[in-house]
Amino acid sequence: MIKKVGVLGAGQMGSGIAQVLAQRETEVYLYDIAEAQLSKARAGIAKNLERQVQKGQLDAAAVDQVLGLIRTTRSLSDLAGCDLAIEAVTEKESLKLEIFRQLDETLKKEAILASNTSSIPITRIAAVTRRPDRVIGMHFMNPVPVMKLVEVIRGLATSEETFQAISHLVTRLDKEMAVSADYPGFIVNRILIPMINEAAFALFEGIATVEDIDKAMKLGTNQPMGPLTLADFIGLDTCLAIMEVLYQGFKDPKYRPCPLLVKMVEAGYLGKKSGRGFYNYA
């Protein structure tokens, strides 16, 4: 049974994963290279838990118990005794590969190594380790405490034992699992990101305004938010990175990133996190 989990990356995804694990009585080591990010993550988790208390979804006495199960660290060696490590850093392949090399050296040989990657093939990540049978994809959705889905991706060498262990963990976290073959983008982003890219093309080609594109898709297809709003929420740099993985992985022109999306990322218009994307948040 997985009792102790290391989470690498204390951003929005990593802190959300740490929270849901701790709320299911799992000991968590939340790792990041920046002390300020770890402090921000802990404060954010506490705020989320208090919000659940106010909504009647969590007993007030449980807040301290959950926070007590989350230890923050800047030392990778603190994760050595973990049964599972979940990498949730920036969607940059070179960074992820280096982290998996380090995890392979640091964690006990029977530990499972998982990636929260939204598009990079798990087989490629597993190949840099000496335990490819114990490497798997766990793609949580954002925001993690709210969204029910976890995409589980088996690499070419992922063992049935590893898959079953992660399947049981997903159930324990009160999430729903969708299993994907190991191809770029998996299920969600192979469908979602090209839709966002096509919305950017619609804007680029002058078909409609940002507002009308979002209104049409929101009211015409019953989506909770329009694709350009969603792109701003995800981060335009992340959307572009995934489109590039799809384009490079399939060599199909239908995955060509929209020139407007490329230009906006080059300008630093990354969406809500930078204050400006398809919309202005200043």
Q: What is the 8-class DSSP label of residue 150?
A: E
151-175: per-residue pLDDT in tens? 999 999 999 999 999 999 999 999 9
Helix (H) or strand (E) holding 208, with range, is none
**Global pTM value:** 0.91
Give residue 205's identity as a one-letter amino acid code. E
pLDDT of residue 281: 97
Q: How far is CA 107 from the centre of its chain?
A: 22
pLDDT of residue 91: 87
Indicate if the alpha-carbon torsion angle 94, 98, 100, 101 is positive or negative.
positive
1 pLDDT exceeds 90? no
29-69: per-residue pLDDT in tens? 999 999 999 999 999 999 999 999 999 999 998 999 999 99
Domain spans of the chain?
4-180, 189-273
Closest CA to 281 of 227, 199, 271: 271
88 pLDDT exceeds 90? yes
Give residue 100's identity as a one-letter amino acid code. F
> CA-to-CA distance for 226 and 130, rounded, in angstroms?
43
Q: Which CATH architecture has domain 4-180?
A: 3-Layer(aba) Sandwich (3.40)
Considering only CA atoms, give the Rg of the chain. 19
How would you classify residue 123: left for phi > 0, otherwise alpha for psi between -120 and 50, otherwise beta?
Answer: alpha
Closest CA to 243 of 229, 220, 224, 260: 260
Confidence band (pLDDT; 50, 70, 90) for 282? confident
The CATH number corresponding to 189-273 among 3.90.700.10, 3.20.20.140, 1.10.1040.10, 3.30.70.270 equals: 1.10.1040.10
110-149: per-residue pLDDT in tens? 999 999 998 899 999 999 999 999 999 999 999 999 999 9
> CA-to-CA distance for 234 and 214, rounded, in angstroms?
15
Which DSSP string corresponds to 13-39? HHHHHHHHHHTTT-EEEEE-S-HHHHH
Q: Do the strands 4-8 and 84-87 form a parallel or antiparallel pair, or are they unpaired?
A: parallel
Q: Which residues are designated catalytic?
A: 118, 139, 151, 189
Q: What are the tokens at 154?
A: 């088996």
Average model confidence (pLDDT) across the chain: 96
Determine contact, residues 132/125, Cβ cutoff 8 Å.
no
pLDDT of residue 17: 98
99-113: per-residue pLDDT in tens? 999 999 999 999 999
215-272: per-residue pLDDT in tens? 999 999 999 999 999 999 999 999 999 999 999 999 999 999 999 999 999 999 999 9
pLDDT of residue 122: 97
Cβ-proximal residues to 225 (8 Å cutoff; 6+ apart), any chain: 214, 218, 233
